Structure 1
Amino acid sequence: MTNDAPPRIGDLLRSAATRATPFIRDTADTALGSPTPCAEYDVRALLNHLFHVVVNFQALAAKGAVDFSHTPDRLAEADWRDRFAAETGQLVEAWSAPGAEEGTSGAMGLPARTVGFMVLLDLTVHLWDLARATGRSFEPDPAVVAELVGEVERMAPMAREMSVFAEAVDLPDPGRATAFERLLATTGRDPRAVREA
């Protein structure tokens, strides 16, 4: 008898955090002013955004209220790398708690599991943004990507309507693209892009 239950959000987030946290920790202070593939963010703003997401989605796991109207500068503190790691650990715990994936969460009343996938997506694609901005490579857990691909395709129309995603990027040979490249393209990122010297 096989267990066909989908992976739990907490487990997927734990895997994503295992790769994201050391990658962010290794981001040099000298890179904080570098541009990223997200036109509205340099590296510092991107990291502050991701930090803010990690903190607020802890509350969403508990069906609490959040405020995304202002993003504090958490990188102003000298120990921000340690604090990011600690907050990401708390995010994993929050989404691993009983009931976190049940019911609805957030002001839009979305299914809690969909909300969990939103923060999982941020912890995946924004690491690619950071890699491109800092001249590094980033490979997410294939199991995380496999779960995200279908979910992101489902949420893409709403995300584009809300200007969260840009229009999808056409890949020259979709059949040969990796799952991660297809995921990036769906969010409006060009996986062939490289950081300009």
Structure 2
Amino acid sequence: MSDDKKTHELLKLAAASASRVVAGAGEIDFGRPTPSPGWDVRELANHFIVWSAYALERRGLRQELGEDVTGRDFVGEADWRAEYETTMDHALEVWSDPKTFEGEIGTGHSAMAAGDIATMLLLETVLHSWDFAKATGQDYVTDPALGEGVLPLVEQWAEMYRQYDGFGEPVEVPAGASAMDRALALSGRDPNWTP
């Protein structure tokens, strides 16, 4: 399987887990703490929604993320769960075309290989949907293949993310921890975090 096809398969697994978390959130206390220091649930939820479904869709289409997305309070809208599902489905469809993985996305110094953008958005989707699940009292349930696929990507990108304060310092986990728990810990998240 090509790297691009593998990334798309992992995106599908990540999207399924993210959609379950969104659907299962129930009544949300938006002021609750989250695993992301300094963010309450509302801030985390809006960031998670933007950088999973909307960024995945727009980057794949070579469109910018405008203020209409980055400044929007998604969770303040009545139909945000259904819209998230629709947008994520469309994003996956965009990336199902192998041509989406070709070339670069962005311009000038901000241009990156399309495959690298997809990988970074995969990590955003997995890590922030885990954050959102924990912050809303849910278990993050996913196919073990997602953890196994994401762990080497977190290992590859961890130092760069830390340089930009995207990841915290690694957290120690027991020997025999799952691949997902090791990926979470390497990103600076405590797999056993509770509010």
- Counterpart of 1:95 in structure 2 is 95
- Counterpart of 2:185 in structure 1 is 185
Contact 1:48 1:71 in 2 (8 A): no
SS at match of 1:100: helix
TM-score by length of 2: 0.87
Contact 2:55 2:121 in 1 (8 A): no
- Counterpart of 1:157 in structure 2 is 159
Task: Determine whether 1:50 maps to 2:52.
Answer: no
- Which stretch of the first structure deviates more once superposed, 33-42 or 181-190? 33-42
- Tell me, in whole angstroms, the C-alpha distance in 2 between the residues paired with 1:177 and 1:132: 18
Higher share in helix: 2
- Tell me, in whole angstroms, the C-alpha distance in 2 between the residues paired with 1:22 and 1:170: 28
- Runs (5+) with no aligned partner, structure 1: none
Contact 2:146 2:180 in 1 (8 A): no
- Tell me, in whole angstroms, the C-alpha distance in 2 between the residues paired with 1:64 and 1:76: 25
Change (3 A) 1:146 1:60: same
- Give the counterpart letter for 2:114 in structure 1: A
- In the TM superposition, what is the alpha-carbon distance from 1:5 to its structure 2 partner? 2.9
Task: Determine whether 1:40 maps to 2:42.
Answer: no
Q: Give the paired residue count.
A: 190
Aligned partner (choices 22, 25, 34) of residue 27 of structure 1: 25
- In the TM superposition, what is the alpha-carbon distance from 1:67 to its structure 2 partner? 4.4
TM-score by length of 1: 0.86
- Give the counterpart letter for 2:46 in structure 1: N
- Tell me, in whole angstroms, the C-alpha distance in 2 between the residues paired with 1:70 and 1:111: 22
- In the TM superposition, what is the alpha-carbon distance from 1:91 to its structure 2 partner? 1.3
- Tell me, in whole angstroms, the C-alpha distance in 2 between the residues paired with 1:140 and 1:106: 31
Task: Determine whether 1:129 maps to 2:131.
Answer: yes
- Tell me, in whole angstroms, the C-alpha distance in 1 between the residues paired with 2:163 and 2:25: 32
- The alignment's C-alpha RMSD in Å is 2.1
Higher relative contact order (CA 8 A, sep 6+): 2
- Give the counterpart letter for 2:42 in structure 1: R
Q: Which string of whole-angstrom CA distances, capped at 9 and with x for unpartnered residues, describes residues 87-115 of structure 1? A: 11111112112311222224532221121
The percentage of counterpart residues that share the same residue type is 31
- Tell me, in whole angstroms, the C-alpha distance in 1 between the residues paired with 2:178 and 2:106: 32
- Runs (5+) with no aligned partner, structure 2: none
- Tell me, in whole angstroms, the C-alpha distance in 2 between the residues paired with 1:73 and 1:157: 31
- In the TM superposition, what is the alpha-carbon distance from 1:164 to its structure 2 partner? 0.9
Contact 1:10 1:96 in 2 (8 A): yes
Runs of 4+ in 1 over 6 A off after TM superposition: none
- Tell me, in whole angstroms, the C-alpha distance in 1 between the residues paired with 2:113 and 2:144: 24
Q: Which string of whole-angstrom CA distances, capped at 9 and with x for unpartnered residues, describes residues 13-46 of structure 1? A: 2222222213212212333222111123222221
Change (3 A) 1:70 1:17: closer
- Give the counterpart letter for 1:190 in structure 2: D
SS at match of 1:30: coil
Task: Determine whether 1:5 maps to 2:7.
Answer: no
